């Protein structure tokens, strides 16, 4: 394997990004802070996705049969997103990222 002549550009840090949908007519209540390292942000995304999946698994028992199928669809989407984030983290960490 040969060394790359042109290194991959570093991942960007976060920007300020408001979130928290609300139909009450006011701006979002929360904001992601700027300048969070990509590795740290992805670690938190993976944790939030894991929590959402674990909570969803417990919630399935309280749903009607008709609602379970739709909810399982959401759980599969969460699991897919978690897998992608974990793969990104594995790639960053195996590349010797200074944040690892």
Give kind and range of the element (H or E) at residue 9.
none
* Model pLDDT, residue 6: 80
- In this structure, the chain runs to a length of 100
C-alpha pair distances (Å), 96 with each of 63, 73, 81, 93: 44, 35, 23, 5
24 in Cβ contact with 53 (< 8 Å): no
Residue 100: pLDDT band by 50, 70, 90 thresholds? Answer: very low
Q: At what angle do helices 38-60 and 65-94 cross, to 10 degrees?
A: 160
Calculate mean pLDDT across residues 1-18.
83
pTM attached to this predicted model: 0.78
Predicted confidence at residue 13, as pLDDT, reads: 95
């Amino acid at each position: 394997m040969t060394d790359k002549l042109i290194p991959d550009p570093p991942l960007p840090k976060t920007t300020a990004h408001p979130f928290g949908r609300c139909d009450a007519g006011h701006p979002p209540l929360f904001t992601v802070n700027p300048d969070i390292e990509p590795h740290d942000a992805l670690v938190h995304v993976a944790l939030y996705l894991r929590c959402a999946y674990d909570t969803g698994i417990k919630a399935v028992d309280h749903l009607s049969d008709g609602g379970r199928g739709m909810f399982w669809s959401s759980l599969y989407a969460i699991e897919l997103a978690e897998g992608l984030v974990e793969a990104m983290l594995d790639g960053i960490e195996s590349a010797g990222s200074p944040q690892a």
